[in-house]
Amino acid sequence: MDIEVIEGGHVTSPQGFSAGAVAAGIKKRAGALDLGLLVSDRPAAAAGVFTQNLVRSAPVQVSEKRAQSGQLQGVVANSGNANAPFDQKGIDDAEVMAALAAKHAGFDEQLMAVASTGVTGVYLPLDKVEAGIPRIELSHDGGPDFALSIMTTDTKPKSYAIAMKEGGQTLFRVGGCAKGSGMIHPNMATMLSYITTDANVDAPFLQELTRETADATYNMMTVDGDTSCSDTLLVFANSAAGGPAITKGSPQAEALRSALLAVGTELSRMLARDGEGATHLITVEVVNGPTLAHARNVARTVALSSLVKTAVTGNDPNWGRILVAAGRSGSPVEVAKTSVRLQDVLIFDTGRVIEFDDADVSKRMEQDEVRIQIDLGLGTHSATAWGCDLTTDYVHINADYRT
């Protein structure tokens, strides 16, 4: 089984998906796409992972409920307003928005998920949504426009797609797009991601794979530690590629797992790299951890550390900050068993301060991606987290905005 990256691939690269977007005037910037619709040509098995924040936007509440049925056919999303006034009118507005989109797409409104991202605490401008939805033209090439329409402070859209092949034949495709993360105009970080596949998979297994994917990718990605009331990952599997149903333990189950992980990983890396003000993607790989949970926890804690982030900003091969961030993670860390590599150069060796070429490692840190590897020497479990450095631009972006 081979993974083939689809050049210029996007969320509608899998068969049977179409999308479109319009400039509805919700964003302040005139002409910016801010209202998008992504649909399947038939009902799809669906799975979702939503923010764990106890403060939840209206669209999250509506979409989570609908995703629980295991079947969805599309999602309508806007940027520029998070529909997060936290009251019943917010819920009502989200349901109206979904109903308008379902009517336009021609299927039952219960099959339509809904998402909003942008300013919080302000009611959704429903008139603009109502005027915009009928203007959305759906097409199989609409993925890139959809990806643009969900952007807020992102500097670039994030799309990716792959095909799973066997003996030259395509078994199925997986595509996706994402927006975030850093904070949103103005209130909070929001991560939205939609993954589509034309694989034939049952909903319970899809939910299991979606949760696995989220835990290994989106949940291992951090910009500033702040979660949002709107974070959403939705996966649609419409079976348009045909083939026997993929269930747990079936021949193609591992292929689907790998494909979802590959798309989730790539989108997470894009999200971290585009973190607000970021100049580096930081990859923290923990190896030989005592458990998977501990390996993940250490990786995430180091990736989130303000001191590690600013060391990367300054190209500073500062193993002390890395070690001490690991030490406060709450997971077992034994200094005498711990080694640290930076850009593949050993800079701390099983508890010992060692000589290394500081200037050379600093020079290597000028690359776009800075890789930190921490060997805990306590087991066999590995995990990777993605983050970004902390720059003065992050502060400007988030301090200079006035509500």
Whose Cβ is closer to its own copies: residue 261's or residue 307's? 307
Nearer to its own copies, 287 or 311 (CB): 311
Asked if residue 54 binds its own copies (CB under 8 A), the reply is yes
User: Does residue 71 interact with its own copies by CB under 8 A?
Assistant: no
**Residue range at the interface with its own copies (CB under 8 A); choices 16-24, 79-87, 210-218, 368-376:** 79-87
d(CA 264, CA 178): 9
To the nearest whole angstrom, how small is the minimum distance from the Cβ of residue 63 to its own copies?
18
Query: Which range in 5-13, 157-165, 192-200, 325-333 contacts its own copies by CB under 8 A?
Result: 325-333
> Which strands sit side by side in the sheet containing 352-353, from one edge to the other?
352-353, 345-349, 339-342, 369-375, 281-289, 381-388
Contact between 332 and its own copies by CB under 8 A: the answer reads yes
Query: Smallest distance from the beta carbon of 190 to its own copies, in angstroms?
Result: 10
Alpha-carbon distance 220 to 297, whole Å? 9
Q: Which residues of 96-117 are buried (b: 16+ CB within 10 A; e: fewer)?
A: bbbbbbbebbebebebbbbbbb
Give 144 or 182: the residue with its C-beta nearer to its own copies. Answer: 182
Choice from 168, 244, 249, 399 touching its own copies (CB under 8 A):
399
How many residues appear in the chain?
403
Active site residues: 190
Phi, psi dihedrals of residue 341, rounded to the nearest 5°: -120, 140
Cβ neighbours around 269 below 10 Å, total: 19
Residue from 47, 321, 370, 378 binding its own copies (CB under 8 A): 321
Residue number with CB closer to its own copies (30 or 54): 54
Near its own copies by CB under 8 A: residue from 166, 335, 357, 367: 335
For position 313 contacting its own copies by CB under 8 A, the verdict is yes
Question: Is there a cis peptide before residue 134, judged by omega within 30 degrees of 0?
Answer: no
Count of beta carbons in the 10 Å neighbourhood of residue 30: 7
Tokens linked to 211? 């949760």
Residue placing its CB nearer to its own copies in the complex, 10 or 56: 56
Spatial distance between the Cα atoms of 375 and 383, rounded to a whole number of angstroms? 11
Whole-Å CA distances, 41 to 12, 38, 62, 111, 140: 11, 10, 22, 12, 10
Contact 389, 310 (CB under 8 A): yes
The pattern of x and - marking residues 182 through 221 that bind its own copies according to CB under 8 A reads: -x--xxxx--------------------------------
Residues that bind its own copies (CB under 8 A): 52-56, 84-87, 120-122, 183, 186-189, 224-229, 304-307, 310-311, 313-321, 323-328, 332-336, 351-353, 358, 362, 389-392, 394-396, 398-403
